[in-house]
Amino acid sequence: MKAAAGKSIWDGIAIGRLRWFQKREVQARSTSGLAPEEELERFEQARARAQVQLRSLYESAVGEVGEDNAAIFEIHQMMLEDEDFLDAVRSVIRTQRGTAEHAVQVTGENFAAAFAAMEDTYMQARAADVRDVAHRLQAILAGAEEKPDWDEPFILMADDLSPSETVQLDKRKLRGFVTRGGSTNSHTAILARTMGIPALVGVEADPAWDGRMAVLDGYNQCLYVDPAPSLLTAMEVRRRADAEQASLLQGLKKKPNVTLDGTEIQVFANIGSDADVGLALQNDAQGIGLFRSEFLYLNSGHSPTEEEQLAIYRRVVETMAGKKVVIRTLDIGADKKADYFGLEREENPALGYRAIRICLTRKDLFKTQLRAILRASAYGTVAVMFPMIISVREVRDAKELLEDCRRELTGQGCPMGRVEVGIMVETPAAVMIADELAREVDFFSLGTNDLAQYTLAIDRQNPRLDPFYDPHHPAVLRMVRMAAEAGHRHGCWVGVCGELGADLALTELFLRMGVDELSVSPSAILPLRRRIRGLDLRLPPNS
């Protein structure tokens, strides 16, 4: 048995024979026996055929991965209408008197290199799209259109896969794929994640493995070639459990989160990293209600740069394809510490220097994050949320810094979308001044984990206090109600993102309070949906 590590794009288990996908190299002859006018005509015909292919690819991708993710194929169609690109191809055909294939190859490479050299990461990513379009045209011109086709379930191995190759793969047989190249940030990765295909990139795959049995373990980011029988059995058990969960999900997928009397509530997912977003989609989350961004800081040996953060936020936002993503700003301190922050030891860390208190005193650190969040808003629907708020002053200061960042980015010509601003309501102080706070923001999200800790004066980290820690305590639930009512009085939407959001014993109560959104861990979405759909608020409470 051989094990090869990679980076997981989507967690899941795939079992099957490995198949090496060799892209057919299109030999672009530079000299043509035809007149330039005839080569130009060949090019026009290939372009028309590519347009037809891309239109149908777009339509099938809309069904599989939704409009926003399918938009990549509209971009490819637009490239085929780009006058600069077309003029360049035509000019190469005329001046070099070569084949249309050769002209497309030369122009494709030139344009891809120009995009790759741009500073903006979005524009850099367009280089791969140009190559994809050029390759499509070359394949049509050379009569070499081909997609992999095997007659038994397989795990595909390839050097790399383009977005269009990924969408065209026959999903009835494909169990997963591994590529040598590729990044977890690419459109290919986003598509695989959205389609729920277990996949690894950056694997030292060997074409000689073609035909061998393998297990792709997305959870542990590993490909096992010729797996030992015991591993195969264990993985098969895990795969079946996943499949059972998935079929349960299928029954509820696309069904609204609506009670029997027609009351609707949004069910979002809590995530701690971009790797969790596939799980959120797999469980049909309507959005991300809490992205605990501090894990980016904790998982890295340094404070992540604006570009590093942008890449991660963008991946999440693009994968969610227009659905709302609430990014909570750095909530470090207390139990979440990283050495490089150099935080001093404190007597009472839960009441100490943490979260917004750190951000408002280390403004450079905070602004780096705010800039990355604002820039990510160009790629979908983003909201920003400030943790551990106890005063109006803090909210105003944080909003002012956000506006400073927006102004700077506008000056630099960075595209941005509208970003809702909200706060975590997780301190009794925030509840008591909820009316004043609600005037400052678009939404409240109730952090019931800390709200219970601070309301009950019980350290949530101390297991000895578990018998006393009662998150159903009437004081906690009354706090939730007070905050929800105050939020609604001032036009805010109100969510719950603490663990109580997934507590099925409280779902009815939250619905009766008029809570608009519950954000829970991805695996809790399905049971919650089932609970919501079984409730009838016309009946007396808890009947």
Catalytically annotated residues? 187, 497
Minimum CB distance to ligand PEP, residue 457 (Å): 15
Burial 266-275 (b: 16+ CB within 10 A, else e): bbbbbbbbbb
How far is the C-alpha of 134 from the C-alpha of 27, rounded, in Å? 13
H or E segment at 40?
Answer: helix 36-65
The percent helix, strand, coil of the chain (3-state, each to 5) is 50, 15, 35
Q: Based on the number of CB atoms within 10 Å of its own CB, is 155 exposed (0-12), middle (13-18) or buried (19 or more)? A: buried
Task: Please give the DSSP secondary-structure letter assigned to residue 21.
Answer: -
Our CB check for ligand PEP shows the closer of 196 and 387 to be: 387
Our CB check for ligand PEP shows the closer of 395 and 405 to be: 395
Minimum CB distance to ligand PEP, residue 331 (Å): 6
Q: Which does 292 bind (CB under 5 to 8 A by kind): Mg ion, ligand PEP, none?
A: ligand PEP
Q: Which of 155, 275, 150 is nearest to 227 (CA)?
A: 155
How far is the C-alpha of 485 from the C-alpha of 435, rounded, in Å? 9
Our CB check for Mg ion shows the closer of 192 and 334 to be: 334
Our CB check for Mg ion shows the closer of 447 and 522 to be: 447
Binding interface with ligand PEP (CB under 6 A)? 290, 292, 331, 426, 447-450, 497-498
Decide: helix, strand or coil at residue 290: strand
Our CB check for ligand PEP shows the closer of 308 and 499 to be: 499
Q: Which does 16 bind (CB under 5 to 8 A by kind): ligand PEP, Mg ion, none?
A: none
Please name the residue ranges forming H helices in 142-275: 163-168, 187-195, 229-252
Minimum CB distance to ligand PEP, residue 283 (Å): 18
Query: For every residue of 239-268, which 3-state class applies, written as one string?
Result: HHHHHHHHHHHHHHCCCCCECCCCCECEEE
Minimum CB distance to ligand PEP, residue 524 (Å): 13
How far is the C-alpha of 92 from the C-alpha of 98, rounded, in Å? 7
Q: Which does 498 bind (CB under 5 to 8 A by kind): Mg ion, ligand PEP, none?
A: ligand PEP
Minimum CB distance to Mg ion, residue 425 (Å): 10
Give the footprint of Mg ion on residues 433-462 (CB under 5 A): 447, 450
Our CB check for ligand PEP shows the closer of 274 and 450 to be: 450
How far is the C-alpha of 444 from the C-alpha of 238, rounded, in Å? 38
Sheet containing 213-217: order of strands: 2-5, 222-225, 213-217, 13-20, 154-158, 174-179, 199-201, 7-10
CB 310 within 8 A of CB 376: yes
Q: Which of 110, 109, 121 is nearest to 183 (CA)?
A: 121
H or E segment at 419?
Answer: strand 419-425
The 400-429 contact track toward Mg ion, x by CB under 5 A, reads --------------------------x---
H or E segment at 384?
Answer: strand 381-386
Our CB check for Mg ion shows the closer of 497 and 511 to be: 497
Distance of CA 206 to the CA centre of its chain: 30
Minimum CB distance to ligand PEP, residue 339 (Å): 20
Minimum CB distance to ligand PEP, residue 344 (Å): 21
Enumerate the β-bridge partners of residue 200.
8, 178
Residues at the site binding Mg ion, with contacts judged by CB under 5 A: 426, 447, 450
